[in-house]
Structure 1
Amino acid sequence: MTRSTTVLVVGGGATGVGVARDLSLRGVDVTLAERGGLASGTSGRSHGLLHSGARYAEADATGAEECIEENRILRDVAGECIRDTGGLFVQLTEDDPEYFEAKRDACEAVGIETDELDADAARELVPDLSPEVERAMRVPDAVIYPSRLVAANAADAEANGATIHPHAPLESLTVTDGRVTAATLGGDADETVDPDYVVNAAGAWAGQVAAKAGVDVEMAPARGVMVSVEYDSLGPVLNRCRDPDDGDIVVPHESEAVLGTTSVPVSDPDDYERADWEVDRSIEECAAMLPPVADADVVRTWWGVRPLYAPDEGDGDRRGISRGFFKLDHGDDGVENLVSVVGGKLTTYRQMAASTTDLVCERLGVEADCETATRRLPGADDGDRLDEFVARYDGQGPTDEDVVTRD
């Protein structure tokens, strides 16, 4: 069967469903295809941190500004997709105090609220903090439940006329005279789509999707492990106040704490090693901040692959690659109706989607404003309804497995 659609979005993670939702709210006919359940790629396999931007403040002021802006927006529109925990950056005895001060000053410069605490005040918030903690800085981090977030975006898109296809892998793209003229979807969709425009929002797999149109998108994916342990006594997110390294974040869930993470280059986001040393190192390093997690029972372990974009990047440590996002208009590559949106973070998905939708609407001659910064997600105040959306789109990922209920 062949069907026409104005825009085909490839990729059902946060950015892809964000684009589909934004387009549908602007009155554009859109079809989204995801090869698995929604959020089955990177979005549903993170540590679940809603960044305040403090992690990036001293090294990437623009990225930090994007994070704090989106952090505030999502708190307003995402309801029970978010858990407001706050966060601490903690300085241990061996950590450079000048780094702490540089981060605090950088946060102030970009408008991220901070509150410096001495060791005693920090331990009043987190009694199990290491005795090696010398001081801490409170920041507006939070926890995000990606399965709920992605599914709620998809539900709103569908309610506004979008077609959402989980389990519909893209099998081929046909390019004729410099335009994508057909996309073949397999799986549950089993159809050929004739799009006016195509958005490649496949994350770490964006290079594979682009290649189907004869276009190069040079991704530099990196894997990272998350280890969830039994621990229900942590209030805020904990961040080690040092240059980003293995095992420097602890994210509280309701009865668990997620420890992470590593950064190891991979060549194939579907086929990579899951190394035991990554688990051991993450536990050891996180225990330097919060000693009880060293002996806590491990509930589950999972890896995610970061969708980093870095042309000509080698095989070295990829932590220094920008976490900003990029829109690649492939008209410059000879395919005028294809754009790839790559890079970015879960925290900034809505902004990535809005920017991409602006571009697509400009190309299509659609004049309509973005509403997603002020329009609340459906079910935002009802966790059970959000979890029904997750079940509808087979959207459960390991990040929030302990929170999302699927009866």
Structure 2
Amino acid sequence: MDVDSSPTVLVIGGGATGAGIARDLARRDVDVTLVDRNGLSSGTSGRSHGLLHSGARYAEADGPEAKECLEENRILRRIAGACIRETQGLFVQLADDDPAYFDVKRAACEDVGIPVEVVDGQAARDELPDLAADVERAMRVPDAVVLPSRLVAANAADARDHGAHIYPHAPVTSMDREDGRIASVALGGEVDETVRPDYVVNATGPHAGRIAAMAGLSVEMRPTRGVMVSVAYDGLEPVLNRCREPADGDIVVPHEGEAVLGTTSVPVDDPDDYERPDWEVERTVEECAAMLPPVADAERVRTWWGVRPLYEPDEASRGGRGISRGFHLLDHADDDDGVANCCSIVGGKLTTYRQMAAATADMVCDRLGVDAECTTPEERLPGATDPDRLDAFVREFDGQGPTDADVVGR
């Protein structure tokens, strides 16, 4: 395979953030190569429940993070076209849920600027008759659904169109350091070459610690697994969120003819090798059925697990589940055993991938002396108005994840 052996920037990790970084850098005329080991979207991005956050889920816990979600939600609605489904969202309060929590969330959303509309339980059931009888009230928010396979592939296609090299099956096998820099990176798979980049970006999600260790660096991760269960259910329009402290089985995401039920949060030692127990599936279905009873007996079409790329120091300081998922850009030039030409981007969420990419590209350009502005909030993704073209990108980059396998390429 014809490989650029001396790229200016090597981005490792072909999820949303990595593809977004490659797109951003390529649009700034930086020579960039993007590699992944199992096809784009094969990791966390392609194994989510597919919610495009409005920020409401995080509003009372972290107002600034919620505002960033809202801003990115609006940007993606403008630039991503058929990568997004405009569904809206509904936070529902059941009889056993604390009404004070609902009021705090509503007030926090209003403070952030998230549009909210509160309706009583009957009005919510008029909109969605299958809602549980004990839904007492609900709050409409601008959530949406994202099709991550399309989103990642479209970012990669735009990067390629601006000169980037994309290798979906090129796992990193080793790195060599010389004089406080990464001198070379060995790539296996379909590439089987050694490249010598000027700068290396580690965007490998829950695998960030393993990749960093190849360069003698330490990135402490606390990955957690979560299960998604897709059931046959037609006619669900808004995303359903249980309006309570985050817990197992508190979200239902509409697809075309299916509803995705999620999720759990269980620490794992190895993001490649972990248990997938039946109890997580059953608990998720049971809890989601408390909001939407028909899903309890609906045909189970697909089940998959994803692993969250949580950053250990952040999780330790914030206290774990339920706290906002911010991202962290680690400049390894600042480490005790520093590497001048490497950074890692960890944490975050799919909704804020573009912002994560922009922050990373800004830092990389600063280190390289590149004077160019980010244009990704304004430029529409290629194929945004053409689902068939988007799906062709997914095939091109072997980018099909389970989240949207029921929709993409149908």
Same fold (TM over 0.5): yes
- CA offsets per residue over residues 250-275 of structure 1, 9 Å max, x none? 00001000000000000110010001
Q: CA deviation at 1:169?
A: 0.2
Tell me if 1:27 matches 2:1: no
Tell me if 1:388 matches 2:405: no
Contact 2:61 2:323 in 1 (8 A): no
Amino acid at match of 1:126: L
Secondary structure in 2 matching 1:301: strand
Tell me if 1:178 matches 2:180: yes
The residue that corresponds to 1:274 in the other structure is 276
Change (3 A) 1:2 1:381: closer
Structure 1 residues not aligned, in runs of 5+: none
Partners of 1:165 and 1:312 in 2: CA distance: 32
Instruction: After TM superposition, list the pairs within 5 Å mapping 1:285-364 onto structure 2.
Output: 285-311=287-313, 318-320=320-322, 322-333=324-335, 334-364=338-368
Tell me if 1:374 matches 2:375: no
The residue that corresponds to 2:109 in the other structure is 107
Contact 1:125 1:235 in 2 (8 A): no
Contact 1:263 1:318 in 2 (8 A): no
Partners of 2:369 and 2:284 in 1: CA distance: 49
Partners of 1:370 and 1:54 in 2: CA distance: 27
Q: What is the aligned counterpart of 1:13 among 15, 21, 27?
A: 15
Q: CA deviation at 1:125?
A: 1.6
- CA offsets per residue over residues 147-183 of structure 1, 9 Å max, x none? 0000000000001000000010001111111000100
Instruction: After TM superposition, list the pairs within 5 Å mapping 1:8-407 onto structure 2.
Output: 8-311=10-313, 318-320=320-322, 322-333=324-335, 334-405=338-409
Q: CA deviation at 1:319?
A: 1.1
Q: CA deviation at 1:124?
A: 1.7
Q: CA deviation at 1:199?
A: 0.4
Q: CA deviation at 1:53?
A: 0.5
Amino acid at match of 1:391: R
Partners of 1:338 and 1:322 in 2: CA distance: 26
TM-score, with normalisation over the residues of structure 2? 0.97
Partners of 2:314 and 2:127 in 1: CA distance: 44
Contact 1:81 1:145 in 2 (8 A): yes
Partners of 1:3 and 1:45 in 2: CA distance: 31
Secondary structure in 1 matching 2:67: helix
Partners of 2:171 and 2:321 in 1: CA distance: 30
Partners of 1:349 and 1:72 in 2: CA distance: 13
Q: CA deviation at 1:120?
A: 1.3
- CA offsets per residue over residues 103-142 of structure 1, 9 Å max, x none? 0000011110000001111112211000010000000000
Secondary structure in 2 matching 1:155: helix
Amino acid at match of 2:261: L
Contact 1:264 1:318 in 2 (8 A): no
Secondary structure in 2 matching 1:4: coil
Contact 2:245 2:322 in 1 (8 A): no
Partners of 2:4 and 2:382 in 1: CA distance: 31
Partners of 1:318 and 1:274 in 2: CA distance: 21
Partners of 1:108 and 1:183 in 2: CA distance: 48
Partners of 1:57 and 1:185 in 2: CA distance: 42
Secondary structure in 1 matching 2:19: helix
Q: CA deviation at 1:311?
A: 2.6
CA RMSD between the two structures: 1.3
Partners of 1:167 and 1:61 in 2: CA distance: 39
Secondary structure in 2 matching 1:124: helix
Q: CA deviation at 1:318?
A: 3.6
**Equivalent pairs, count:** 405
Q: CA deviation at 1:322?
A: 4.1
Secondary structure in 1 matching 2:7: strand
Contact 2:58 2:324 in 1 (8 A): no
Partners of 1:134 and 1:332 in 2: CA distance: 52
